[in-house]
């Protein structure tokens, strides 16, 4: 299966278990892998034969910057569900939600979860 990669989509959202996270917000990074057949797109050079990356970005932005969730697992699930519902060509998607600055004491680069969902 062919893949479209969308890496390091950056947003500001209000997700987290702690009240401060839902009030103050923080950065979130999203990586996507979209699995679909790109044969027609490659042969025809037509946007209708693939998935519009700008549209995907805007849908993910609406989710991440929209209604708050306690868990980034829930955010990822919502993203995957939205993409599979909206794009008939999409067969499978992998969604990684990265929380660069969670309120956890210690030294680390980030915390992330990754899910894969398919039709």
Question: pTM for the full model?
Answer: 0.95
Is residue 70 part of the annotated active site? The answer reads no
pLDDT of 103 reads 85
- Structure tokens given for 92: 């499978």
**Residue 11 near residue 72, CB atoms below 8 Å:** no
Q: Which candidate in 61, 70, 96, 99 is catalytic?
A: 99
Class of domain 2-118: alpha beta
pLDDT of 108 reads 87
pLDDT of 107 reads 85
Average pLDDT over residues 10-16: 97
- pLDDT, one tens digit per residue, over 56-112 is 999 999 999 999 999 999 999 999 999 999 999 999 999 999 999 888 888 888 999
Looking at the DSSP bridge assignments, the partners of residue 95 are: 32, 115
Place of tokens 């990754």: 114
**Residue 63 near residue 89, CB atoms below 8 Å:** no
Domains of the chain, by residue range, sit at 2-118
């Amino acid at each position: 299966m062919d893949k479209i990669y969308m890496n390091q989509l950056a947003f500001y959202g209000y997700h987290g278990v702690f009240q401060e996270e839902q009030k103050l917000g923080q950065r979130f990074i999203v990586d996507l892998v979209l699995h679909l057949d790109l044969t027609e797109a490659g042969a025809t050079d037509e946007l209708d034969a693939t998935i519009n990356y700008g549209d995907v970005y805007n849908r993910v932005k609406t989710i991440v910057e929209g209604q708050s969730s306690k868990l980034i697992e829930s955010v990822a699930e919502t993203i995957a569900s939205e993409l599979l519902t909206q794009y008939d060509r999409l067969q499978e998607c992998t969604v990684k939600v990265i929380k660069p600055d969670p309120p956890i004491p210690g030294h680390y680069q980030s915390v992330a979860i990754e899910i894969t969902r398919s039709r």
